[in-house]
Amino acid sequence: MRAYWELAKSSFRRHSTYRTAAVAGAFTNSVFGLIRASLLLSAITTAGGAIGGYSAMEAATYVWLGQALLAPLGLFGTAELANRVKSGDIAVDLSRSVNLTASYWAQDLGRAAFDVLPRGLPPLIVGAWVTGLAMPGTPGPYLLGFVSILAAVSLNFLGFFAINLLSFWVLEIRGFWMLYMVVMNLLSGFLVPVTWFPGWLLDFARATPFPSMLQTPVDILAGRTDGGESLAMVGLQILWLAVLLVVVQMMVRFGSRRLVVQGG
């Protein structure tokens, strides 16, 4: 376990060396938050005050929480593993005495821990200042929200890791990556809340782990669900975590048997 703790710490430190990048990222997240909030708000105004159970203020809160969690949750993913397979550096990863998935997971948690403040706070501050935020006044949603964020970081990590692992079979994963991004962006509730989906799409989304990757922590943090519902949602996240973990471990197991380490 100590190895994974050290890896998480080192990843935190690695990311903290790129402070300018963090500032630029937070700025971008905030600007896009303004654009998304203004689009949603004008839609809600046109619709006459509320869409799918979201008032103007609640919709704005949904946008700003999404923008704040975007980076910490790792919604853009990283192709590091696939790149290391391409360059053959995967040989180094595989000759370490640690579990491949766990070592990357630990590093992603370290990255997320760094991203929380510099990437998360600025969009919330801008949001509170420009549109105002509808946040709960009790500690419960924040506590459960924290657990939900941890689960969502892990789910996003495992999702992208599975796509990365395809590089054990195919030389180029760009196509799979694009497909995953499009599907995940929509079904995770990043573009619009999943409850705005037509019934059939909502049912489909709920049969996938994607809403657990963003919609769930946003809803819990915003206090849209009561205690019991929130607990059930976190339970569902953990269930998906177990499923994805099994999938990823199987992929590592079978993939590393047919992996061809590139280069001399």
Partner 1 sequence: MPIINVENLSREFQVMEPMGRFRRRKKTVHAVRGIHFSVEPGEAVGYIGANGAGKSTTIKMLTGVLVPSSGQVSVCGFNPVPQRKALARKIGVVFGQRSQLWWDLPLQDSYPILGAMHRMPEADWRPRFRELAEQMDLGAFLTTPVRQLSLGQRMRGEVAAALLHRPELVILDEPTIGLDMISKEKLRQFLDAERRKNGTTLLLTTHDMSDIQRLCQRVLVVDDGAIAYDGPLTGLADVAGAVRTMVVDLAAPVHSADLFLLPDGAVHEGIEADGIRHSVSFDPRRLSAATVLAAISNTAEVADLSLHEPDIEHLVRELYGSARR
Q: Are 66 and 190 in contact (CB under 8 A)?
A: yes
Min dist CB 87 to partner 1, Å, is 8
- Nearer to partner 1 among residue 205 and residue 252 (C-beta): 252
Q: Within 17-46, which residues bind partner 1 (CB under 8 A)?
A: 17
- Nearer to partner 1 among residue 165 and residue 194 (C-beta): 165
Contact pick of 6, 172, 203, 226 for partner 1 (by CB under 8 A): 6
- Could you give the CA distance from residue 10 to residue 33 in angstroms, rounded to a whole number? 31
- Nearer to partner 1 among residue 91 and residue 231 (C-beta): 91
Contact pick of 53, 88, 140, 235 for partner 1 (by CB under 8 A): 88
Encode 19-32: b = buried (16+ Cβ within 10 Å), e = exposed: eeebeebbeebbee
- Could you give the CA distance from residue 251 to residue 78 in angstroms, rounded to a whole number? 18
Residues in binding contact with partner 1, number by CB under 8 A: 27
Min dist CB 70 to partner 1, Å, is 23
Min dist CB 167 to partner 1, Å, is 15
For the record, the structure tokens of 42 come out as 């004008």
Q: Name the residue with tokens 């990311």.
A: 15
The 8-class DSSP code of residue 36 comes to H
Q: Does 14 bind partner 1 (CB under 8 A)?
A: yes
Residue 91, Cα to own-chain centre: how many angstroms?
Answer: 28
Find the largest Cα–Cα distance for the chain: 65
Min dist CB 74 to partner 1, Å, is 18
Q: Which helix (H) or strand (E) segment is 79 a member of? A: none
Contact pick of 39, 98, 170, 239 for partner 1 (by CB under 8 A): 98
Q: Which helix (H) or strand (E) segment is 97 a member of? A: none
- Angstrom CA distances, 65 to 13, 92, 190, stand at 25, 38, 10
Contact pick of 97, 137, 200, 242 for partner 1 (by CB under 8 A): 97
Q: Does 80 bind partner 1 (CB under 8 A)?
A: no
Q: Within 228-257, which residues bind partner 1 (CB under 8 A)?
A: 257
Residues in contact with partner 1 by CB under 8 A are 2-3, 5-7, 10, 13-14, 17, 88-92, 94-99, 257-261, 263-264
